[in-house]
Amino acid sequence: MRGGKIKIVIPENPDEFKAMEEIQKDAWNAEDITITPAHVLRAAQMANNCVYLAYVEDEPVGYVYGFFGFHDGKLYLHSHQVGVKRRYQNMGIGFLLKLKQREFAISRKIDLIRWTFDPLQSKNAYFNFAKLGAINREYIQNLYGEIKDELNHGIPTDRFYVEWYVFSQRVRDRVEKKVRPPSFENLEIPLATKTKKLKESMLVLGDYDTSLSEKLLAIEIPVNFTEMKNRDLKIAIDWRIKTRELFIKYFSRGYIVVDLIRSQDRKRCFYILCRESLEKILSENWWAW
């Protein structure tokens, strides 16, 4: 495909909704029972929720699906899924789908889009925080119970419930690519996690510190959690249990996840947590502070 034309449309005919089932099976390596069926996607779109399909040339390759939510007397958009077929990932298609979703919200004067994701999936984390400018201050334990797909099988489905303030300066800076986080080596931020590499190059989390109080702190996560899970479920579960405690403790003390940064060789990933008002985080380029 490389170099092929990407087009994003509102799906209209039954074949397009069927294609979204196929994209899910491929993107999540999911069993039929775990996917959102075509008829639900069709109904959601019919009721004017947010459903877009991405094509490369004539092939449907990705989609985004969200519906309206209601909290504290206000409407927001809950984005249930974004998925791109494996061979088309890392080409910016997911990013374009989220931009379309942002336009959908903006044109309806909805300022907040939320979605859940597994905080140990570093790619999703980088996508959500570094590229899109979402923030997170909520941790949910085992939200769905067990899900039978490659990403989730065998592990409690803990989730961040991110907030994407689509009108904010922070989000504008990120989606217009005006601000990108520095690499980890260029920062002096205290680390709440001590990790070590096992022989088989598996990253293990040893000691961790829940009592740091600096304005910024970092929490390391593995760079390929799905592969780790397939190779050694015990190590993966250990990551889940320890990072669960870390995030819950820091969120309870007012920290907000504001970024996911990588090492220069991209082999290590670190969350950046910040203790600052949400207003300030959303309105300023805080890497310039």
Amino acid, res. 81: Q
Tell me the C-alpha distance between 151 and 229, whole Å.
9
The CB-nearest residue to ligand COA is 94
Q: Rule CB under 6 A: is residue 286 a binding residue for ligand COA?
A: no
E strand or H helix at 262: strand 256-262
Q: Which of residues 183-202 bind ligand COA (CB under 6 A)?
A: none
Q: Report DSSP letters for 175-200, one per residue.
A: HTTS--PPPGGG----BSEEEEE-TT
Tell me the C-alpha distance between 62 and 7, whole Å.
10
- Counting every residue written for the chain, the total comes to 289
Tell me the C-alpha distance between 185 and 251, whole Å.
25
Of 90-98, 138-146, 210-218, 276-284, which part binds ligand COA (CB under 6 A)? Answer: 90-98
Q: How far is the CB of 116 from ligand COA (least distance, A)?
A: 8
Q: Please give the size of the binding site for ligand COA, defined by CB under 6 A.
A: 24
Q: Rule CB under 6 A: is residue 95 a binding residue for ligand COA?
A: yes
Tell me the C-alpha distance between 59 and 270, whole Å.
35
Nearer to ligand COA, 128 or 168 (CB): 128
Helices (H) and strands (E) in the chain, counts: 8, 12
Nearer to ligand COA, 124 or 168 (CB): 124
Among 36, 45, 101, 124, binds ligand COA (CB under 6 A): 124
The answer to whether 24 and 83 are in contact (CB under 8 A) is: yes
Among 56, 205, 212, 269, binds ligand COA (CB under 6 A): 269
Q: Rule CB under 6 A: is residue 219 a binding residue for ligand COA?
A: no
Q: How far is the CB of 150 from ligand COA (least distance, A)?
A: 9
Q: How far is the CB of 87 from ligand COA (least distance, A)?
A: 11
Q: Cα dist. 187→66, 217, 281 in Å? A: 36, 11, 18
Q: Rule CB under 6 A: is residue 18 a binding residue for ligand COA?
A: no
Q: Rule CB under 6 A: is residue 93 a binding residue for ligand COA?
A: yes
Q: Rule CB under 6 A: is residue 224 a binding residue for ligand COA?
A: yes
Q: Which of residues 24-83 bind ligand COA (CB under 6 A)?
A: 27-28, 81-83
Both tokens of 244, joined, read 């669960």
Q: Rule CB under 6 A: is residue 90 a binding residue for ligand COA?
A: yes
Q: How far is the CB of 48 from ligand COA (least distance, A)?
A: 21
Tell me the C-alpha distance between 111 and 165, whole Å.
6
Both tokens of 250, joined, read 């820091």
Q: Rule CB under 6 A: is residue 127 a binding residue for ligand COA?
A: yes
Looking from the CA of 112 toward its CB, the CA atoms found within 13 Å total: 16
> Which residues are at the interface with ligand COA (CB under 6 A)?
27-28, 81-84, 89-95, 117, 122-124, 126-127, 131, 151, 223-224, 269
